[in-house]
Amino acid sequence: MGVFGPPSSREEPTERVTWVRADDRGGAEYGLSRTGALIRLMLEDGDRNRTNGGSRMRLPKKAHTSRPWRIHEIAPDFELEDVWALPTPGGSDDFPRLVRQIAASDPSRSFPGAARALWDLRDKLGELLGWDSSDADIGSGVPSLRDRLPADLRDGPSGPEFDALPATSFYLTDDEFAAEGANRTTHGIMHLGWVPDGTGGYRGQMAVLVKPNGLFGKAYMAAIKPFRYLIVYPALMRMIGREWRASTRAPTPAST
């Protein structure tokens, strides 16, 4: 959704679909049009997000602006859109694992229900209306923020390549990572940091910064805001937490 929406390879659903949803009664089946099914999924997922702590991970903007992140000097002309506490408890040296996990994630496959439908819808609209054409990408239509880096960051690692998201890493430090993506609506930054959690451990923190392309970009960001907060971000937080727990439980190969 937004500048980081991945291409979709799934086929378009038929005009009438049957959705099967588990509920307290053991499941319910109903046939709906695509629009009706999407609306019902959005309502159900929004309900679940309100009772599942979907908004409790959102932080005030000062949680980002008060820290001495390098991104402040690199992108002062970008607007801070959101700050989120990530469900990724760990130790002081676990930040590289978080960065690798985010780069390997594929929300188009991992999102449930309405969030996946919205992800696919945004992809289809982008393709139809030309929002995501290659001449608006980083390096072709938009200069990369890597060109703005001071010498110490430019000489350091840029970070991993993304498996699915159309994002480009542009710097990585011991506790900070940034990636960018662009299309005809916005130029966006995903910033990750590794911060103390107040209990002796650490956790990830994600900030989203944007630079809308004119009035159209501002209108686009305003139009998608309710969907991001109600559906997309809560699903993203659950996905990140689920993948983090899975990687934490994964056995470490025995050394020989």
**Looking at residue 120, what is its pLDDT?**
58
- pLDDT reading at 251 higher than 90: no
Contact partners, residue 165, CB within 8 Å, separation at least 6: 4, 6, 105, 106, 107, 181
Report the amino acid identity of residue 128.
L
- pLDDT reading at 9 higher than 50: no
CA dihedral 195, 167, 124, 126 (to 10 degrees): 110
**Looking at residue 157, what is its pLDDT?**
95
Q: By C-alpha distance, which of 121, 122, 107, 52 is closest to 239? A: 107
pTM strictly above 0.85: no
DSSP string for 106-139? -HHHH--HHHHHHHHHHHHHHHHHTTT-GGGSBT
pLDDT tens digits for 176-194?
999 998 887 789 999 999 9
